[in-house]
Amino acid sequence: MTPSAPRIEIDLDKIEHNAHCLVEQLKTRGIAVTGITKATRGLAAVATAMRRAGVSGIGDARIQNIDRMRRARVRASFALTRAPMPSEVKQVIRCADISFNSEPAVIAQLADAARRAGVRHGIVLMVEMGDLREGLMPADLADAARRVIELPNVFLQGIGCNLACYAGVAPDAEKMNALSAHATALEHGLGIHIDTVSGGNSANLEWALGGASRGRINNLRLGESILLGRETLHRKVLPGLHTDAFGIVAEVIESKRKPSAAWGRIAQSAFDVPPEQGREGDMNRAILALGRQDCDPEGLTAPAGIRILGASSDHLIVESQAGALTVGSEHVFQPNYSALLRAMTSAHVTQHVLGRRSPTHDCRAAGTDETRAMYP
């Protein structure tokens, strides 16, 4: 049976290869990799491919995704990379081994929930290093660390920071040296050993694979670079990595010769801004059944001979430069991170897993129906 369209094809072998290459390269520099699965909504087969490649743990921003991977029997240490909501601390304690935190009051709630559950939970304190997303201000770090040490049922796993996510601040040698210095200062000040110093995400690879000293940094949290084969400061392809582990397949529902320019009085379109109008006369235009409810059309790269003209909720409008497209034919588009994230989250996009499959997970059950039943 042909799988239905639109669908996202997920090549586990390519994901495993990418993860393996990064794990091995970083291992020689003393850096372990936490594989980040949030862009795939915690798809167990992807987590298992990362595990096979040797990542030291799995991280996800959402506790539901971690719960989903646990239920699918992915064996790993799980880290919640987004600071827990106070309303979810019980679930965080139940599903995650470690969480990344910046609010001492929430850490106290985690400790309380861990005590009730009779477990120990690891805390990574995030430090604000200038990108202005999450993190304690450096001046408050020592006090927060002391409070973690004093609480029952939680332990200080380490410190970390996150850059290049909001303001685009680069994780360069200066920032990484500053984070290392925070780790050393905490050790001296509190008489403890800091185990994990997590330097950042896929934007750190230029620094990590370059010549600079790694200092105390011994962990990176990698999502996009494993999944899409690029570092994220300049979106440069990482040597030897696959950039096409994911493909979004869409089907043509209309194919006609039409003018390149709209006619009539031009006001707003469905998404506010009417597109630029071409002046090339008639062209081979086609519509594919793929829209903003399925992915981020701005984040798609079209196959050769096809040019994306625009999109609405459910329609992708293209020009075919090499003859008319056949109604019913399928075409594969390459997603960037934004398109990937939305496609993996859309209830309208079926997921088709290729390559080695997780022996512990039935990939046919990995679609959105299963998750909707689990998290109504």
Active site positions, annotated: 38
**Spatial CA neighbour of 122 closest among 85, 84, 86, 88:** 84
> What's the rounded Cα separation, in Å, for the pair 238 and 65?
27
Closest to ligand PLP by CB, 19 vs 61, is: 61
Contact 234, 319 (CB under 8 A): no
CB nearer ligand PLP, residue 80 or residue 249:
80
Q: Which residue ranges make up the site for ligand PLP (CB under 6 A)?
A: 36, 38, 61, 81-82, 162, 201-202, 221-225, 232
**81 vs 334 by CB, closer to ligand PLP:** 81
CA distance 177 to 83: 24
The phi-psi region of residue 364 (left if phi > 0; otherwise alpha if psi is between -120 and 50; otherwise beta) is: alpha
Provide the minimum distance between the beta carbon of 187 and ligand PLP in the complex, in angstroms, as a whole number: 23
Question: Which residues fall within 8 angstroms of residue 273, CB to CB, at 6 or more apart?
Answer: none
What is the C-alpha to C-alpha distance for residues 14 and 354, in angstroms, rounded to an integer? 10
- SS3 call for 58: strand
Find the shortest distance in angstroms from Cβ 84 to ligand PLP.
13
* Residue whose CB is less far from ligand PLP, 6 or 42: 42
**111, exposed or middle or buried, with CB in 10 Å at 0-12, 13-18, 19+?**
buried
